[in-house]
Amino acid sequence: MINKILIANRGEIASRIIRTCKELGIGTVAIYSEADSESPFVSYADEAYLLGGSRVQESYLNVAKILDIAKEAKVDAIHPGYGFLSENADFAQSCEAAGLIFIGPKPDVIQQMGNKVEARKKMEEAGIPLVPGFSRPLTDSMEAAAVAEKIGYPIMLKASAGGGGIGMQAITNEEELSKAFEGNQKRAQLFFGNGDMFIEKLIEKPRHIEIQVLADKFGNAVYLWERECSIQRRHQKVVEEAPSSFLDEETRRKMGEAAIKAVQSIGYHNAGTLEFLVDVNKKFYFLEMNTRLQVEHPVTEEITGLDLVEQQIKIANGEKLSFTQENVKRQGHAIEVRIYAEDPKTFYPAPGKITGLSLPEGEGIRHELAVQATSVVSHFYDPMIAKLVVSGATREIAIDRLKEALENYKVEGIKTNLPLLKEIIEHEAYYQGDTTTDFINKYIKKIKV
């Protein structure tokens, strides 16, 4: 029985998890680094323990220290949030070995789906549509060139253990591939400890659409509709919305059913997300699976009325899903924008002290915050400081509310990406739903400071 949870994360997602735990009457334990000692999530939790230094290796990736604190605090479970250790199979295994409930899928499933080559194989076995590609690691640029010739350019070079766009590059010819292979391989080895690379056919002008799923330990699974996450910069999502303005009901249903088929084929339980590329003809292809809570999960909550963190905890606690697919209704439209501490001209992180923070209020506005008016944004971590989520009865209403909210969103003392977000949302192409993955490159001019 889960009565107390340690949140193995920081920032807005830690606060988000704590909020649901409080509503459920579950005790919370925060862990924090020296740089995060004054962060809001630390005081929001029932208890808080210092992990160590500001660097992630000294704190949020320090498995031994996290488990020591969990033992000292007498928690029943650990929620990993997203990022850091959330998709680390060894961490999940260590939690289980310590007698703790890991709020997520089983370690072997995390391992399988975290490796993109292995994930492709599993989905191929399950009959899920795949982007044409080569489903085993490539040894060198010569082998990569031979495979690319068979598939046909353009292709996408990817790191097998990658994420966040690291080790990923679009390639249009053999010369580009020869130059790119070794550099991306080294980058993947540095970031993920795994330099395996593979190749997929590049789907041109695609939509990036993902399906949120929940699956319990009794074989029950549901999909909670889709999120469109096509507006990206350097393969990082910037704007997410639900539902997609592009999909028709038949494609939406087929994608949902494919996602359920996929999770049941691998014995998955807890919350997860199947990511797909969708071409201009609405043909969809499996891209990857995220075996954790997504950054953009609030838009799904807004259109379904479900609390995904609550569902995660209940599933981890051994409870059956309390609803079936027929009960999962969607209502209205929701859009999320990620607010970063970054220079809007160079896009480089812009850490520093926030000297003023004024948030918009009104119907359909939701905030997920990592900071407060006096916070110091550290250079040690991801520069995302907040998420603004706006919902309405229709996409048009949600967009209008978001435009007004962005105009009234004020962060002083540091630079942010608010100018970029305003330009995206105010663009006619966005309003018309022309949101393919090349949106920013195609439509957005260089942002002025």
Length of the chain: 449
Distance of CA 307 to the CA centre of its chain: 16
Single-letter residue type at 302: E
Q: Which residues in 183-278 belong to E strands, given as ranges? A: 197-201, 207-215, 221-233, 236-242, 270-278
Closest Cα to residue 389, out of 406, 375, 376?
406
Which of 299, 156, 192 lies closest to 237 in space, CA to CA? 299
d(CA 107, CA 39) in angstroms, rounded, equals 31
* Calpha distance 420→240 (Å, rounded): 14
Dist. CA 153–CA 155, nearest whole Å: 5
Residues contacting 190, CB < 8 A, separation 6+: none
Omega before residue 154 within 30° of 0, cis: yes
Find the catalytic residue in 120, 292, 338, 401.
Answer: 292
Bridge partners, residue 78, by sequence: 6, 102
Give the ranges where 305-410 is alpha helix by DSSP (H): 308-316, 395-407
> Residue with structure tokens 């795949």?
130
Return the residue matching tokens 């407060």. Answer: 372
Which ranges constitute the DSSP H helices of 266-296?
none
| Alpha carbon distance 22, 261 (integer Å) | 34
**Contact at 8 Å (CB) between 369 and 303?**
no
Is 292 a known active-site residue?
yes
CA–CA dist 37, 31 (Å, integer): 9
List, by residue number, the catalytic residues: 292
